[in-house]
Chains A and B, each alone.
Chain A
Amino acid sequence: MVDIANRQQKTAAAAETETAERKPLPRWVITLASIAVMLVLWEIFGRRVNPVFGSYPTAIAAAFWDLAVTGQLWSALYDSLRPFLLGYALAILIGVPLGLLIGGFRVAEAALGIYVTAGYAMPLVALVPLLILWLGLGFAVKVAVVFLMALFPICINTWLGVVAVPKTLIEVGKSFVAPDIVILRRIVLPATLPYIMAGIRLAVGRAVVAMVIAEFFTTISGLGAVIINSANNFDTATMFVPIIILMVMAIGLNWLIGFVERTVAPWQAEIAGRDRE
């Protein structure tokens, strides 16, 4: 027994010195290397393809420069971002309390849960014509499309988070005679935060897609308009510019949300042991 214990201790010690000696590559180095390899491969293979059917990084960069200096890109981005940000913010402001309500009260869960589950699977594209009839072709309908696409993942995740709160933590509140509303605000809400943040992250992708859908099917405007117009002119390189901008924007937003999460809920990363990265 003693022997085994000693050996285990030794291997544990050996593993520790090993990791201390071998300094692991920082994450961002790996990510940058991955991007570089991807761009080079894309460049090599993209140049062999007819420029109508595909494009490659340097051509897209040139198209980006043209759009940027004429100012076309910035006004398109501005047009896209306004409904995007408003719809997304509204989805958070309504989705989180709604999820807390549904998860926290069984009457609300029984009465409203079914709509949220169904709403998540709603084929929103099919409803756009109806939304246009209600809200017209302008700003409002774009906000509504983004809102409806982002709302459900946020709401469902919050709801699942509330359901997953350990019963014993709620009993702590009860045993100190905390009123239900205090238990919801001071125990359920913080315990649910990681789920809420995950929902908000999932919603970024859906909100970006919703924004482009809205720009395609209502007044053609913003980055969606750049995509459609350049596609109609068989200018594939220019078409890729807004697509890549949208993807980069989603990555940036994701990072920002992660930063906010680490700021408002630092204990979560600490518990998972991710705080040292």
Chain B
Amino acid sequence: MGEVTFLDVSKRFFLRVEGEVHHVQALDHVNFTVKDGEIVALIGPSGCGKTTALRVAMGLDPSSGGRVTVDGHEINGCGHDRGMVFQHAELLPWLSALQNVMFGLEMKGMRGAVLRETAERYLHLVGLKDSQHRRPHQLSGGMKQRVGIARALAIDPKVLLMDEPFGALDAQTRESLQGELLDLHGRTGKTILFVTHDLDEAVLIADRIVVMKNGRVQEIMDVPLKRPRPDLGVVRGAPEFAETRYRVWRAIHDGSTVH
């Protein structure tokens, strides 16, 4: 199981700009649910609160109101039931790929031979068996993010939280990683909540798309594309893809003509 629910989640903070205190409502009574095994994309213009929502769900930032639950249990700080994939992978530069994956497992209390075996298995899963002894700076951007995904998956969380995981990659690497993520999802059945600013990515990968704006949930849309989606090229050609992409685009741009 792995169901994430945002219940009336709000987040306020103060920002001091040139001596003036600004009141920022990063999240304004956010409500939505990510069902077990589902992939949900959080999308919206920058500053809409999508990354804040993810950080609150991870427990890295406290909310000012409401609560986030995982399988009905209210979260209290970070936990092993959630695995975080960071935007720039954020691998520890002094550790090898393998040791980076082992780090997460060790924090979960795993020791001994099974520790190394598990880490190797997950690196294998993301296709990095041969590069496991390389340090992060010896890996390409795409490989780094694969390690980041392996590190989060290895602790076997109920939910994978991803913060623009492919945003910093070049277009080709991004496409192959999108395909691999769907493949991993097919094999592990993990619940995934990911933040993106890429319309194509949201429609290609997600089952549902949560469009956010000014800290609020603007609209929640179903993606009418069947699973599995083994060939994303075919998905891109499907009429449902273009149609959904347009609907999301409309939702993001609705009422923003002022800007």
Contacts and interface: CB of A to CB of B under 8 A. Distances in A.
Chain A: number of interface residues, binned into ranges: 10 to 19
A168 B86 contact: yes
Interface in A144-200: 168-169, 171-178, 182, 186-187, 190-191
Nearest to A189: B94
Nearest to B155: A176
Contact of B90 (A168, A265, A267, A270): A168
Contacts of B53: none
Nearest to B161: A175
Contacts of B34: none
Q: Is the interface of A mostly helix, strand, loop or mixed?
A: helix
B230 interface: no
A175 B84 contact: yes
Interface residues of B, number: 24
B234 interface: no
Nearest to B135: A267
Interface in B76-121: 77-80, 82-84, 86, 88, 90, 92-94, 103-104, 107-108
Given A175-B58, A175-B78, A176-B78, A169 B90 contact: yes
B56 to A, nearest CB: 13
B137 interface: yes
Contact of B107 (A177, A190, A265, A267): A177
B242 interface: no
A265 B155 contact: no
Given A186-B103, A270-B135, A172 B155 contact: no
A85 to B, nearest CB: 29
Contacts of A270: 135, 137-138
A175 B103 contact: no
A271 interface: yes
Contacts of B24: none
Contacts of A176: 78, 80, 103-104, 107-108, 155
A77 to B, nearest CB: 37
A271 B93 contact: yes
Contact of B80 (A168, A169, A172, A177): A177
B136 to A, nearest CB: 8
B58 to A, nearest CB: 6
Contacts of A190: 92, 94
A189 to B, nearest CB: 10
Given A175-B83, A267-B135, 17 more contacts: A168-B86, A168-B90, A169-B90, A171-B86, A174-B59, A175-B58, A176-B78, A176-B108, A176-B155, A182-B107, A186-B92, A190-B92, A190-B94, A191-B94, A267-B93, A270-B138, A271-B93
Interface of A: 168-169, 171-178, 182, 186-187, 190-191, 265, 267, 270-271
Lowest 9 A-B CB distances belong to which pairs? Answer: A176-B107, A175-B84, A190-B94, A176-B104, A178-B107, A267-B94, A168-B90, A271-B137, A172-B90
